[in-house]
Each structure stands twice: as C-alpha cells, then as structure tokens.
Amino acid sequence: MNKLKDLKLKNQLIISTYIMIFLVLVIKPTLVPNIISRLITAFKPFLIGGAIAFLLNIPMKLIEDKIIKPLGKKYKRLEKMSRIIALVSTLIIVIVLLSAFMNYIVPQLVDSVSTLTNNIPNYINSLQTYVTSNLSNLDVLKNIEFDIPSAIQKALLYVGDLTNMIISNLLNFTVSITNFFMNLFLGIIISIYILLSKEKLSLQFKKVMYAYISEKKCERIIYIIKLTNHKFSRFILGQSTDGLILGTVFFIVLTLLKMPYALLISILIPMANFVPIFGTYVGITISAFIILMVKPTAVILFLVTILTIQQLDGKFIYPVVVGNSLGLSSLWILLAIIVGGNLFGILGMLLGMPLLGVVYDLVSESVNKRLESKDIKIP
C-alpha cells in the first residue's frame, strides 16, 4: 500500500514539474533562449577552442600517422615525442600559410576590391554605353532610362547613414572586436591543450559515461561520435582540397586569358563552392557580373571557361578528392542547405550538410535493421 502511495506521489510530482516548466515557458518564452545564450557566451572560448582543435586535428593526425610514427619505428626517441612534433609541425604550417596569405594575397584582394568599388560608376557608364551602342536598334531601349547621378546620390546617402551608424556604435564595436580576439586567443590555447591530451580527455569522458549509462548505450554514443567525426573531417578536408585545386586552376587560366580581377574571382568561386549546388553558381554569377561591368566582351569567354573547368572538376577531380563523403543525394543536400541556412545562416548551411549525413546514416541503419527483423525485403 505504501509503495502505491509513493508511486502516486512520484507521478504527481513529475506531472507538477512538467506543468510548472510549461507555465514558465508560456509566461517567459525568452527564458530558455536567454539561458542558452548566456551559456554559449560563458563557454565561448571552449567552443572556439574545440572548433580549432577539430580543424587542426585533421592535418595533425595525417602528419602523425603518415610521417612521424613511421619514422618513430626507426628512432625510438622520436616515437615518444610524436604528438608534440606533429602539433608543432601543424602550427608552423598554419602560421606560414596564414602569413603568406596575409602578406601576399590579402593586399592584392584589398587592392582589387578597392579598385572595383571606386570604379563601379565608370564601369556602369561603360556598360551602359556598350549595351546602347550594340542594341540601339531595339525599340525596348527607348523606354529605358539610366539615371546614374541619382543612383550615385542615393548610394552616397546610404554610405553616409551607414558611417553615422558605425560611429555611434564605435564603442560597442570596439568592445566586441576586443572580446572576439580575446576569445580567439584563449581558444587557441585551449585547442593546444585539447590536442596534446585528447586521449586522456577521451578516456575521462568514457569513464563518466560507463559509470552512469548502460554499456550498450555507451557503445552507441561512441559509435555516433566516431561517425560524426568521420563525416565532418572528410567533408572539410575534401572540400578544402578541391577548393584549393579549383582556385589554383582558375587563377592560372584566368591570368593567361588576361581576365580582370583574376585573383579575386579565383578565391571567390572556390569559397562559394563550399556550399554545394547553390554556392558554385552564386560565385560564378557574381564573378560574371564583375567581368560584365569591367570587360563586357569577355563575359562569354569567361562563362565558357569557368563552366568547362567546373564540369571537368565535377567529373574527374571532385570524385577522387571528395568522393561521396556525405552519402547524400542532391535533394537531401538541398534540404540541409535551406533548413540550416534559415536556422543558423551561412554556418548552418556548412554544418547542416555533414550533420544531415550523420542523421541519414543512423536512420538508414535503423530502418534496415527493423526490416531485417521483420524479414521484409524491398527491392
């Protein structure tokens, strides 16, 4: 009898708790988002550190497994220091690449963007003259008027308003930038600690799991973590390698063809290419518009060249470098891009694809197991 009373009391407490939580969420709907936002702010250095550690771990693991450990079989002292040597080598490579990018590529990009921005009115006038002179026989053009001075005046007013807004928020902007770099610095330090002791951290995590969760559930969680790591690593490594190859080929070909802003376009399209389906065509459209403004006669040649390289990449380079790393059809990738983009912007587009790849694999595995248990075969 007492057990029944205790069970009823327990059920009443659980129901009362759920009702209280529901009422709090209804009365204060912003409570949970505010709590999540504060937690993210508090743990931001660790989140940044984890992200940096994940990215650095990809090249570090390659260096450690493919170079340091084989050498360690011959030199025993090297084997004991394999992790530190691999991490230091990775950091040196990253620093050298960033330095080269900042010293050689960024100044040219800034110069290209500055020149493009300053000459947009001239480019528009040239484009208008070119279109008018070549299509003057069309009656449609008689009804079209280009009011360039008015457009420039509106643009200047917009820039003025934007400048006033920036000046008024300069203090907040400065504080935000300072916090960002502080979190980034702390994140780098945390990522180094994570990479140096990742086995120890993994062991501690497993101990906590196995202590409080059943062994079967622990094995399932570990499997999901490994699958997630595999999907994200392959996606990032594959897309980065393909983007580097594509950007290099674009730069060489566009430079040989004497296309304007070759470096800017060679970086813009591979960066946009990180988002499959949409990204490439968005990058090509923006680049084609730049070419159209600067050199209208070259836009057809540019489009033919870029689309040809893109097709060759899709048939020969991409399958080898990236392969079917996500295991998703175009429709599912489209779903990940749209939903992820609507929820979390550009970051959601990028992370949504490998994340959906993980969910897709897990659901497929579960469905196939259930069909096998029911002895159902669907052709």
And the tokens for 44? 């931001």
Residue 224 falls inside a structural domain: yes
Residue 330 falls inside a structural domain: no
Helix/strand/coil for 303: helix
| Cα 119 to Cα 109: distance, rounded to the nearest angstrom | 15
**Could you tell me the CA-to-CA distances from 182 to 45, 255, 280 in Å, in that order?**
8, 40, 34
Looking at the structure, tell me whether residues 156 and 240 fall in a common domain. Answer: no
| Cα 279 to Cα 258: distance, rounded to the nearest angstrom | 25
Looking at the structure, tell me whether residues 220 and 254 fall in a common domain. Answer: yes
Q: Of 212, 244, 260, which residue sits at a domain end?
A: 212
Exposed (0-12), middle (13-18) or buried (19+): which is 318, by Cβ within 10 Å?
Answer: buried
Q: What single letter denotes the amino acid at residue 37?
A: S
Q: Of 310, 325, 340, which residue sits at a domain end?
A: 325
Looking at the structure, tell me whether residues 207 and 218 fall in a common domain. Answer: no
Residue 377 falls inside a structural domain: no
**Could you tell me the CA-to-CA distances from 82 to 52, 69, 86, 192 in Å, in that order?**
20, 7, 6, 15
| Cα 356 to Cα 333: distance, rounded to the nearest angstrom | 8
Instruction: Answer positive or negative: Cα dihedral of 190, 236, 307, 257.
Output: positive
Q: What is the pLDDT of residue 140?
A: 47
Looking at the structure, tell me whether residues 81 and 206 fall in a common domain. Answer: yes
Q: Which residues contact 322 (CB under 8 A, 6 or more apart)?
A: 234, 235, 238, 239, 241, 242
Looking at the structure, tell me whether residues 124 and 45 fall in a common domain. Answer: yes
Q: How many CB atoms lie within 10 A of CB 228?
A: 17
Give the range of the structural domain holding residue 306, as residue numbers without chain letter: 214-325
User: Does residue 354 contact residue 326 with C-beta atoms inside 8 Å?
Assistant: yes
Looking at the structure, tell me whether residues 248 and 112 fall in a common domain. Answer: no
| Cα 247 to Cα 28: distance, rounded to the nearest angstrom | 50
Looking at the structure, tell me whether residues 87 and 198 fall in a common domain. Answer: yes
Residue 11 falls inside a structural domain: no
Q: What is the pLDDT of residue 332?
A: 80
Looking at the structure, tell me whether residues 62 and 208 fall in a common domain. Answer: yes
Q: Of 212, 232, 264, which residue sits at a domain end?
A: 212
Q: What is the pLDDT of residue 141?
A: 44
Residue with the two structure tokens 């587009």: 349
Number of domains in the chain: 2
Residue 344 falls inside a structural domain: no
Looking at the structure, tell me whether residues 319 and 262 fall in a common domain. Answer: yes
Mind listing the pLDDT tens digit of every residue in the chain (379 residues)?
555 556 666 677 777 777 777 777 777 777 777 887 788 888 888 988 888 898 888 888 888 888 877 777 777 777 677 888 888 888 898 888 888 777 877 777 677 667 766 666 666 666 566 656 665 554 544 454 545 455 555 655 665 565 556 555 655 656 677 777 888 888 889 999 988 888 888 899 899 989 988 888 899 999 999 988 888 888 888 888 888 888 888 889 988 988 887 888 888 888 877 776 667 788 888 888 778 777 778 888 888 888 888 888 777 777 666 656 677 777 787 788 788 878 877 778 778 888 888 888 888 888 888 888 877 777 6
Looking at the structure, tell me whether residues 220 and 162 fall in a common domain. Answer: no
Residue 20 falls inside a structural domain: no
| Cα 84 to Cα 64: distance, rounded to the nearest angstrom | 9
Residue 30 falls inside a structural domain: no
Residue 186 falls inside a structural domain: yes
Looking at the structure, tell me whether residues 208 and 219 fall in a common domain. Answer: no
| Cα 367 to Cα 275: distance, rounded to the nearest angstrom | 29
Q: What is the pLDDT of residue 68?
A: 79
Q: What single letter denotes the amino acid at residue 271?
A: M
Looking at the structure, tell me whether residues 288 and 171 fall in a common domain. Answer: no
Q: What is the pLDDT of residue 7?
A: 62
